[in-house]
Chains A and B, each alone.
Chain A
Amino acid sequence: MSEAQRYFEEVDLGDEYAEEMTPTPELVREFLGLNPARGGPGDGRFTSDEGARSIGMRAAIVPGSMSMSIISRLVEDWMGPEGTLHSLDVSYRRPVLQGDDLKLQALVTDADETPEGPRVKLDVYMENARGERPLQGTAVVELPRKA
Chain B
Amino acid sequence: MTTEPTQEAQFEYDRSVVGVQVQLGEFTISEAQVQKYCETIGEANPKFRGGQFAPPGMLSSVTFGGGQALDPKVQFGNTTFMAGSRMEFKEPLLVGHPIKAQTTVKEVYGKTGRTGTMVFVVRRTEFLDAASGNLIGAMEQSTVHRETEAARE
Binding site for B on A (CB under 8 A): 1-3, 19, 21, 27, 30-31, 34-35, 37-38, 41, 43, 53-57, 64-66, 68-70, 72-73, 76-77, 79-82, 84-92, 95
Tell whether A85 pairs with B56 under 8 Å between CB atoms, given A3-B44, A73-B43, A92-B82.
Answer: yes
Whether B79 and A87, one on each chain, are in contact in the complex, defined by CB atoms closer than 8 angstroms, is no
- Which residues of the partner chain A approach B149 to less than 8 Å between Cβ atoms? 56
**Knowing that A73-B55, A88-B85 are A-B contacts, what are 14 other residue pairs whose CB atoms are under 8 Å apart, sorted by A's residue number?**
A21-B41, A41-B80, A55-B79, A64-B85, A69-B55, A73-B43, A80-B45, A81-B46, A84-B89, A87-B87, A87-B88, A89-B87, A90-B85, A90-B86
- Which residues of the partner chain B approach A79 to less than 8 Å between Cβ atoms? 45
B42 at the A interface (CB under 8 A): yes
Partner of A38, one of B57, B63, B88, B151: B63
Whether B86 and A88, one on each chain, are in contact in the complex, defined by CB atoms closer than 8 angstroms, is yes
Whether A65 and B83, one on each chain, are in contact in the complex, defined by CB atoms closer than 8 angstroms, is no
Q: Tell me the smallest distance from the CB of B126 to a CB of chain A, in Å.
A: 14
Whether B57 and A77, one on each chain, are in contact in the complex, defined by CB atoms closer than 8 angstroms, is no
Instruction: Count B-side interface residues using an 8 Å CB cutoff.
Output: 38
Residue interface bits B23-46, CB-to-A below 8 A is 1, else 0: 000000000010011011111111
CB-nearest residue of chain A to B62: A35
CB-nearest residue of chain B to A21: B42
Tell whether A65 pairs with B41 under 8 Å between CB atoms, given A56-B151, A87-B86.
Answer: no
Whether B36 and A68, one on each chain, are in contact in the complex, defined by CB atoms closer than 8 angstroms, is no
The 7 tightest CB contacts between A and B, nearest first, are A72-B57, A64-B82, A56-B150, A81-B47, A1-B44, A56-B148, A38-B63
Q: How many residue pairs, one in A and one in B, have C-beta atoms under 8 Å apart? A: 124
Whether A76 and B37, one on each chain, are in contact in the complex, defined by CB atoms closer than 8 angstroms, is no
Whether A1 and B42, one on each chain, are in contact in the complex, defined by CB atoms closer than 8 angstroms, is yes
Q: How far is it, in angstroms, between the C-alpha of A65 and the C-alpha of B85 when the chains are bound? A: 9
Partner of A30, one of B36, B56, B79, B89: B36
Of the A-B pairs whose beta carbons lie under 8 Å apart in the complex, a sample of 26, sorted by A's number, is A2-B44, A3-B45, A21-B42, A30-B36, A35-B61, A37-B63, A38-B61, A56-B150, A57-B150, A69-B37, A72-B57, A73-B41, A73-B43, A73-B45, A76-B43, A76-B47, A76-B48, A76-B56, A77-B43, A77-B45, A81-B47, A85-B89, A86-B88, A88-B86, A90-B85, A92-B83
B133 at the A interface (CB under 8 A): no
Whether B151 and A73, one on each chain, are in contact in the complex, defined by CB atoms closer than 8 angstroms, is no
Tell whether A54 pairs with B63 under 8 Å between CB atoms, given A64-B85, A92-B82.
Answer: no
Tell whether A88 pairs with B87 under 8 Å between CB atoms, given A35-B63, A56-B150.
Answer: yes
